[in-house]
Structure 1
Amino acid sequence: MGDPREPPGGTPEGGSNDDEFRSVVFDESFVRAARIQELSAKERLAGAFGRATRPRGLGWFTLPRQAVALLLLVALAFAAAVYFGVSSPRGQVAPPSGAQLTISLTPLAPAGTVTGVADPANPFAGLPAGYADGPAGLGVPTAAATAHFTGSDVQRALASVQHYLVVSELTPATVTANETRGLRDLLTSGELAQYDDSVNTPRDDQHHSATGWMVRFDPGQVALATDTVKVRGSIQIAELDSGTLEVTADHTLVYALRPAGTTSDPSVSLYTVRRAVHFELDRADLDTGRLRVVDAAVQAGPTSCGVVQSAYLQPVLATAAGVRPSSPPAVDPGDHSRPAWQSCGVLGPITG
């Protein structure tokens, strides 16, 4: 007698016995994970869906565990990047690279009455020998190789410094027309924020005086009697270290000034500025033609003591009758209510 589990006619050709599928177990978790679910008898009778099956919704709980873990990992990485990359401790942003310029300004008060030059058409006639016109007086040395820099490197450094000096103290647009963009283009990126702050909101704090970066006068008050500036001084270059050149420029500049606008007084005044400026240039600076201005010490007169010179230098301009400012005040070294760097001197005759 045949096996009651077999069909009456035996196993059809090409078919298989149920024993072959007994190893496949459709447990409860398998059924719950199915993407298609058969409708219940009540749902089929109600005709709610118009079909015998419905798709199961996809969601977090139907995704593979590996996919959920990967999504969580990406979210955590993004959150960490936002926290550590965009934010910083106490909300502070890392300061820009580059040296910060330190500035000292010393007004030189006139010792007596300020009078105009004898010949306004030839205002520099009374200067001692040794002064030259503009760039010719800068005293740029011949470039020579150093221990770690070639002669070409030194030449590029000197050219950058000379360019800065010409723009910052000899160019009329800078001196009396409030032009600041040309000078900005010569600075390294690390000093741009300080420079912009100095120009936009100048203040006497040893770091943000516009007159530390350049020589300039208020165009509403002062005009150049001639575009020529007399200059005397020198430029020294040395190695600060194996990767940095150090350049020091020390010059005395004499400007011929008059009041701005139309005036019936033809008086022309001489105004003297000494600038000692310290620069540093590394190899990247040489390639870009930019430089870092590290220190600037400025003495200028005739200027009244106590005037604010962070935005503009404040010359005492002569008149036909002469001008006698008040005498410089005495300085009390025990008075700590004023910063120690705010000092004043007396302008002596130009002898060299």
Structure 2
Amino acid sequence: MPDEVWEQFVRDSERDIRTSGAPKEPSARARMVTERLRQQEARGELPQGWRAMPDGQRAGGRRDRRRKVWTAVAVVLAAAVAVVAMKPSLLPGDPFGTDSAAGSGADSGTGADAGSRSAAPLPAETAPETAAPGAVPGTPTLDDPFAGSPAARYADGAAGIVLPRAKAVGVFSKDQVARALEQSRTLLVESNIDRGTLLGATPEAVFDEVLDPRQPELVEDLRSWLREPGEDRDPLRMFSRFDPDEVRLVGDVVRTRGRTTFEEGRDGALEIHTDYTFVYALAPADPDATEVARTIVRRVIDLRMGDPAKYRATPGRLAVVSYDDDIGNSACFTHDGFLHPGLAWSDATGAPPSGPAVDPYDRSRDIGGDSEPDACGTVSRT
């Protein structure tokens, strides 16, 4: 065996022993194997070039596989970094404060409202708001009817009625409370969001599934008011309705924001409090008209499910304890059972608004308690 070949073999063997973590001094078996290989080499019994195995193969496939795995991970990380660099708001919580449009009053969406959805929708309201929302630039159009309105960031329709988690209250189980909360949601949806109701139909589900028939004064009054509205018989106290001969709804959604809470009342009753604002986009009934207006309706309704053993109540139905409303942009002192938004072409004969202007989007203020009985206020925006 040439000396340089033998020296290379020794160097390779020592290196492999060091990297394997084995003792630096070759064992007796290793020395025997080395001597046997040297003798077989001298007799020509080993194939030519048996020491010429490439380094990559001698190291084995595991290191190569590990290198490939880390290469793939590096590619994925690089792609993720590139995506975040282009849109940092994808990170939870927006740690870099990149969602600058969040306070602009727009949110994201599809269809006719897509233009006003340039910022994320507001989170669900879980506590009373502390101030009115800021000014929002923009002008409503048929394609973007909520532009220039805080409602651009409100939820769509029933999605804005987020119910609290149910729990047992008073004499009622968790399941009974959950059902009552769903009934309160049905009342709000059928009265203020359902398209049939908005165009003048009677919301039968309210009477058939929610309201307690053993509260006849209210139930019978509401049905009568819907049939024959008048000054003291106004269905708008509970229902949102528009005259389809006068206006048409723009788009497919009503924007909704508010909250529902509940607690135990007297004698173990379940008391449900609802406070919601509904924003409607409207245009003249003439299909060629392009003017867009908005009407804002805020409703505060208190409901009760009483223990039939202590209350004159129907099991599984809700009684209305109180209701109040605040309507922005509708003709004053009209009693035909419809809301009449202010439009340039309108010839509504209602009394002109008077009194101090209020912001119909300001959910931090109470409604009803500080207004004059015959007041017809103005709104600061629609």
> Where on the TM-score scale, by shorter chain, does this alignment land: which range?
0.5 to 0.7
Query: What's the offset of the Cα at 1:211?
Result: 0.8
Pick from 196, 200, 212 the counterpart of residue 237 of structure 2: 212
Larger Rg: 1
Match of 2:147 in 1: 125
More helix by share: 2
Pick from 269, 279, 294 the counterpart of residue 244 of structure 1: 269
Pick from 245, 254, 276 the counterpart of residue 279 of structure 2: 254
Distance 1:328 1:256 in 2: 21
Pick from 215, 226, 244 the counterpart of residue 199 of structure 1: 226
- Residues 1:226 and 2:226 aligned together: no
Distance 2:179 2:140 in 1: 42
TM-superposition CA deviations, 1:46-68 (whole Å, max 9, x none): xxxxxxxxxxxxxxxxxxxxxxx
Query: What's the offset of the Cα at 1:164?
Result: 0.8
Query: What's the offset of the Cα at 1:309?
Result: 4.1
* Residues 271 and 300 in structure 1, CA contact (< 8 A), matched pair in contact too: yes
* Residues 269 and 307 in structure 2, CA contact (< 8 A), matched pair in contact too: yes
* Residues 237 and 246 in structure 1, CA contact (< 8 A), matched pair in contact too: yes
* TM superposition score normalised by structure 2: 0.52
Pick from 183, 188, 192 the counterpart of residue 165 of structure 1: 188
Match of 1:135 in 2: 158
Correspondence list, 1:255-270, <5 A = 255-260=280-285, 262-270=286-294
Amino acid at match of 1:344: C
Name the SS for the 2:183 alignment partner: helix
* Residues 268 and 318 in structure 1, CA contact (< 8 A), matched pair in contact too: no
TM-superposition CA deviations, 1:196-235 (whole Å, max 9, x none): 2222232333xx3211121111222122112301011101
Name the count of aligned residue pairs.
221
Distance 1:117 1:286 in 2: 49
* TM superposition score normalised by structure 1: 0.56
Match of 1:302 in 2: 329
Q: Identity over the aligned pairs, expressed in percent?
A: 31
Distance 2:267 2:351 in 1: 51
* Residues 156 and 286 in structure 1, CA contact (< 8 A), matched pair in contact too: no
More strand by share: 1
Name the SS for the 2:281 alignment partner: strand
Name the SS for the 1:250 alignment partner: strand
* Residues 225 and 256 in structure 1, CA contact (< 8 A), matched pair in contact too: yes
Q: 1:223 and 1:340, CA in 2 relative to 1: closer, same or farther beyond 3 A?
A: same
Match of 1:103 in 2: none
TM-superposition CA deviations, 1:250-289 (whole Å, max 9, x none): 11111111122x3432112111111111111224599754
Q: 1:288 and 1:163, CA in 2 relative to 1: closer, same or farther beyond 3 A?
A: farther
Match of 2:379 in 1: 347
Pairwise CA RMSD: 3.1
* Residues 170 and 268 in structure 2, CA contact (< 8 A), matched pair in contact too: no
**4+ runs deviating over 6 angstroms:** none
Query: What's the offset of the Cα at 1:240?
Result: 1.9
Pick from 268, 276, 295 the counterpart of residue 271 of structure 1: 295
Q: 1:240 and 1:130, CA in 2 relative to 1: closer, same or farther beyond 3 A?
A: farther
* Residues 176 and 222 in structure 1, CA contact (< 8 A), matched pair in contact too: no
Q: 1:183 and 1:267, CA in 2 relative to 1: closer, same or farther beyond 3 A?
A: same
Distance 1:146 1:130 in 2: 34
Distance 2:306 2:170 in 1: 14
Structure ranking higher on relative contact order (CA contacts 8 Å, 6+ apart): 1
Q: 1:270 and 1:318, CA in 2 relative to 1: closer, same or farther beyond 3 A?
A: farther
Q: Which runs of 5+ in 2 are unaligned?
A: 1-137, 357-370
Distance 1:287 1:330 in 2: 43
Q: Which runs of 5+ in 1 are unaligned?
A: 1-115, 332-338
* Residues 277 and 299 in structure 2, CA contact (< 8 A), matched pair in contact too: yes
Name the SS for the 1:248 alignment partner: strand
Match of 1:187 in 2: 211
Pick from 299, 312, 317 the counterpart of residue 338 of structure 2: 312
Q: 1:198 and 1:231, CA in 2 relative to 1: closer, same or farther beyond 3 A?
A: same
